Chains A and B, each alone.
Chain A
């Protein structure tokens, strides 16, 4: 079985300061991990993905995440927050299910607020 824990339901940062959104996962197999972003009343957009290649993954809009197997973490970071980064972020794990297919498990989301 797989699970995802987003450690903060809400994070607030000032514009221009670093962003850190935390995610821990559990998985029975070697997982693939994703971060999605959702702006209000919009669908989810893929920010970045880890699929067993480089452990430091760069995504769109200056975001990056590092896969740390020993810590079972996949935290999302950005050096300098922009007002347009205000949104909800979901950490997602993709793993083999018992039926042999790949299922996604979503975290409950972290709402990022950016203060001018």
Chain B
């Protein structure tokens, strides 16, 4: 069966510090991978998605970047965190079916920028 891992589970970082969040998927090959951010009272915002190694699409201009160095690894990074980067970050994976896109979510990382 497929599983998705995220770490760390929680993180407190000062403004201006770097960030690296990691997501890995097991039990599937060539998944589509996604990073979402969930800010208080604002629902889920798609940040990045990837359909293959080295292929990253950015949905929203921001202070963050993403990379996919391996088939089942997806990394979210920042060189200098802002207060507005605080939130709950969710990684998800999916595989294409004939007519829909069901996504499976990881446990999330709670990031607090102080």
A43→B88 CA distance, assembly (Å): 9
Closest to A108 in B: B43
Contact call B105/A45, Cβ cutoff below 8 A: yes
Please judge, given known A-B contacts A52-B99, A102-B96, A102-B100, whether A42 and B44 are in contact too, CB under 8 Å: no
The contact size tier of chain A is 20 to 34
A109 and B43 within 8 A (CB): yes
Q: Are A44 and B110 in contact (CB under 8 A)?
A: no
Where chain A touches its partner, the secondary structure class is: strand
A104 interface residue per 8 A CB criterion: yes
Question: Do A102 and B101 touch across chains, with their CB atoms under 8 A apart?
Answer: yes
Contact (A41, B88) CB under 8 Å given A51-B99, A102-B100 = yes
**Inside 8 A of A103's CB, which chain B residues have their CB?**
46, 101
- A113 at interface by CB-CB < 8 Å: no
> Are B99 and A32 touching (Cβ within 8 A)?
yes
Q: Does A25 contact B (CB under 8 A)?
A: no
Contacting residues, chain A, for B92 (C-beta < 8 A): 44
The answer to whether A107 touches B110 (Cβ under 8 A) is no
Q: If the complex has contacts A51-B99, A102-B96, are A42 and B43 also in contact, measured as CB distance less than 8 A?
A: no
Instruction: Verify A49–B102 contact, CB threshold 8 A.
Output: yes
In the complex, residue of chain B having the shortest beta-carbon distance to the beta carbon of A4: B43
Please tell me if B103 contacts chain A, counting CB pairs below 8 Å. Answer: yes
Contact check: which of B96, B101, B107, B110 meets A104 at CB < 8 Å? B101
Render B62-106 as a binary contact track against A, CB cut-off 8 A, 1 for contact: 000000000000000000000000001010100010011111111
Distance from B80 Cβ to chain A, minimum over Cβ atoms (Å): 26
Given contacts A43-B106, A51-B99, A104-B103, 5 further A-B contacts (CB under 8 A): A30-B99, A43-B105, A51-B100, A90-B44, A104-B46
- Give me the interface of A with B, judged by CB distance under 8 Å: 30, 32, 34, 36, 41-46, 49, 51-52, 90, 94, 101-104, 106-109
Closest 8 CB pairs of A and B: A32-B100, A102-B101, A43-B105, A108-B43, A44-B105, A106-B44, A94-B101, A43-B107
The chain B residues found within 8 Å of chain A, CB to CB, are: 42-44, 46, 51, 88, 90, 92, 96, 99-108, 110
**Contact sample, A vs B, 11 pairs, CB 8 Å cutoff:** A30-B99, A36-B105, A41-B88, A44-B90, A102-B101, A103-B46, A103-B101, A106-B43, A106-B44, A107-B43, A109-B43
